[in-house]
Amino acid sequence: MHFQTSTLLKLLPLLQLGWASPTLKTRNSSSCAPGYYVPNIGNFDLQLPIGSDGKPQTVSGSDLTGCDGFQDPDWFYWDADTKSIVMKAPPSSSDCVKTTNSKHCRTEFRETNPKSWSASGTNKMTVSLTVVTADDGSHGTVIGQVFSAEYSKPVAELYYSPSGDIYIGVEQSTDGGDSDFTQVGNVPQGTAFTYELSYSDDNLTVSLNGGDAQSFETSQLDNPDSYFKFGDYNQGEDVDSQVDVTSIDVVHNYNYLSPKEEAMTYSQLPLPEGITSRQIDLSSFGHLSFHILEAGSPSNPLILLLHGFPMLAYSWRRIMLPLANAGYYVVAPDQRGYGRTTGWDVRPYTEVDLHTFSTTIFVRDMLAVVSALGFTKVKCVVGIDAGGVTAGGCAVIRPDVFESVMLLTHPFNGSPTLPFGVANREKQVETNDAAAVGQKTGSPSIHEQLAALGRKHYKWYYSTPDANAEMTSPTTPGGLNSFLRGYFYVKSASWAGNSPHPLEGGWTASELVKLPYYYIMPLEATMPESIHKLMANEAEEAVELSKEWLSDEDIEVYASEYSRTTFAGGLNWYRAYTDGKFKRGMDVFAGLKIKIPCAFIAGDKDWGTYQEPGTIEKMRDGTFCEDFRFFKMVKNAGHWIQQEKPKEVIEGILSLVKSLE
């Protein structure tokens, strides 16, 4: 994966933070957590010297940020006088908690966003700090590390001794425990200084106080993918250590390839004969470089197919040729955030601009593709799952371009509404449209109710900082391939546990918990863990039968693509969808219905039709759609209906487009 990103974690001077403001003056105390003053430590996890035997307490980045973020009065807190993060660690002779593979205790940050990076790019960590007390280890306290993500051993550790001597220990073996030590400088204890650790262009360097960089050989380690650590890693036996950090600057600048060059690095997709793959590079026009699959003659009317999550353009492979043979030019793009489409915002979780993952932007993307292909009209736009939201947006925003819309599995839940008639009320009443799943308004109460029942909503889980890593690198048996196999399986008709029906009680916790774990998850589980629970007692014969519509080769395509891109792009869509402020762009279309001919197809084993209570009924009764043509329920089909039952989907699409003639 090739991208550019810069993560700046500078501690700003108090005047820059606006301390003249009366509301902010109260924050100038140690009552606020370090994450209030250094919000971007959300890109790190924090390990502490406390916890249970063999399991030190680890605080995720999402729990470190904000005034109410994590702090500990003994080991980790903000000092308002020195304007620094105080990090303390006890010696090994204490009863501190260590990991099973370590002899020493630490209060230390570990980089998690990104979880790792290539040493062939540019990777620099600059830390300004004061070592208040160094431990009595042979080389002192470890204040920074480059750590291998491949073999879980240090590449290099930076040590600070009580004498002020600073050493770098560079590992000579991937087995660890064989470091070559070099003194790189001296700074008296209690004196502020700055170091820079860099692992760039396969070259490890260290510099102090902006001086010349000293270079060290790591070819013996094969220049592994790595990540940074920093803080207070006590190496001694009897002396406590304290490190006060005042500034952190982390920069990653990955080698960049042009869209054309990057496309040349991709493996060939196992496509049926007659379906071709290519890039439409619109980056020079301010758009993305879109990867598309296409079938049929461009002289025929255009049908546009929009996939959902965690699908790809590849997910339409079973219906493209029959539609093309019926006289249409069929195009399926990898949407923004997916597959081989490039140019979207790949910055870390805390930095990405979620406005670029809003519905209006996705509609703009499709208009750009249509225009680049030389079309001014689309005979039918077909959307499944999250792609249905984009397709619905296309229908509402540009009915002059899109002549009809077919939605699969995900009903259109209407255009937004604006506050009406509230100006003359004595007291403004906050809207609480519980049925609007995408709105944050009123959502905390439903989530609290679900939590009380031991459950949580998948869309809000997808919006959390840890979801991407948990899904891209599952800790469940079989890793990513098994997770994807299970995810596709349990949401299909192949899984006997699916018996969907309308939620008569509406958008309430008591009704939502009737949904399977892949929608309303166990409260403490990751998505891979939720799927693993559902698959635990599944008969192997039933799983084998599902390979008739989703082969091992197909799963490998999905696994290969998502291991390369991660799920971040798709999950950013959910983050924008579940936070109302990123949906405000659609307010200019408030109250508009879908006016073009519209139809809906779903499987009778798909809960997707009912997960937002009342929406399918409003599509059919004219509330959301002025010209609703038909609702087709396909027997023995689940959520992946175009893969499970392609014949029925093809018939439905052709029925809709033929009705336009």
Q: What is the pLDDT of residues 424-436, one digit of tens each?
A: 776 554 443 433 4
Q: Is the pLDDT of residue 447 over 70?
A: yes
Q: Is the pLDDT of residue 25 over 50?
A: no
Pairing of strands 302-306, 380-384: parallel
- pLDDT grade for 351, boundaries at 50, 70 and 90: confident
Strand segments, DSSP code E, in 209-282 are: 214-216, 226-233, 241-253, 276-281
| pLDDT, position 444 | 56
Rounded to the nearest integer, the mean pLDDT of the chain is 90
Q: Is the pLDDT of residue 440 over 50?
A: no
| pLDDT, position 258 | 66
Domain ranges of the chain: 4-253, 259-418+597-658, 443-576
Pairing of strands 405-408, 380-384: parallel
At 298-341, the pLDDT tens digits run 999 999 999 999 999 999 999 999 999 999 999 999 999 999 99
Higher per-residue confidence, 97 vs 21: 97
Q: What is the mean pLDDT of residues 573-592?
A: 93
Q: Are 521 and 458 in contact (CB under 8 A)?
A: yes
Token reading at 103? 């002899």
Higher per-residue confidence, 101 vs 599: 599
**Range scoring the smallest mean pLDDT among 131-145, 182-196, 429-443:** 429-443
| Reported pTM | 0.65
| pLDDT, position 67 | 87
| pLDDT, position 3 | 34
**Range scoring the smallest mean pLDDT among 65-79, 224-238, 435-449, 616-630:** 435-449
Please give the DSSP secondary-structure letter assigned to residue 65: B
98 vs 58: CA distance, rounded Å? 11
Q: Residue 11, SS3?
A: coil
| pLDDT, position 267 | 87
607 vs 638: CA distance, rounded Å? 8
CATH annotation of 259-418+597-658: 3.40.50.1820
Q: Supply the Cα-derived Rg of the chain in whole angstroms.
A: 27
Q: Is the pLDDT of residue 5 over 90?
A: no
At 244-281, the pLDDT tens digits run 999 888 888 765 566 766 777 788 999 999 999 999 99
Q: What's the half-sphere exposure (Cβ side, CA atoms, 13 Å) at 104?
A: 23
| pLDDT, position 337 | 97
Q: What is the mean pLDDT of residues 360-379?
A: 98
Q: Are 410 and 386 in contact (CB under 8 A)?
A: yes
Place of tokens 């219905």: 593
- pLDDT grade for 561, boundaries at 50, 70 and 90: very high
| pLDDT, position 607 | 97
Please give the DSSP secondary-structure letter assigned to residue 141: E
| pLDDT, position 427 | 55
Q: Is the pLDDT of residue 462 over 80?
A: yes
- pLDDT grade for 2, boundaries at 50, 70 and 90: very low
Q: What is the mean pLDDT of residues 277-303?
A: 95
Amino acid letter for position 76: F
- Cα separations (Å) of 595 from 399, 590, 591, 652? 7, 14, 12, 19
Mention every residue, 6+ apart, whose C-beta is less than 8 A from residue 155.
145, 146, 147, 148, 170, 171, 199, 204, 218, 221, 224, 226
Q: Are 84 and 247 in contact (CB under 8 A)?
A: no
- pLDDT grade for 113, boundaries at 50, 70 and 90: confident
Q: Which CATH fold topology does 4-253 show?
A: Jelly Rolls (2.60.120)
Q: Is the pLDDT of residue 617 over 60?
A: yes
Percent of the chain with pLDDT over 70: 92
| pLDDT, position 36 | 83
At 502-521, the pLDDT tens digits run 998 899 999 999 999 999 99
| pLDDT, position 217 | 92
| pLDDT, position 23 | 25
| pLDDT, position 7 | 34
| pLDDT, position 216 | 96
The distance in angstroms from the start CA to the end CA of the chain is 46
Q: What is the mean pLDDT of residues 17-33?
A: 40
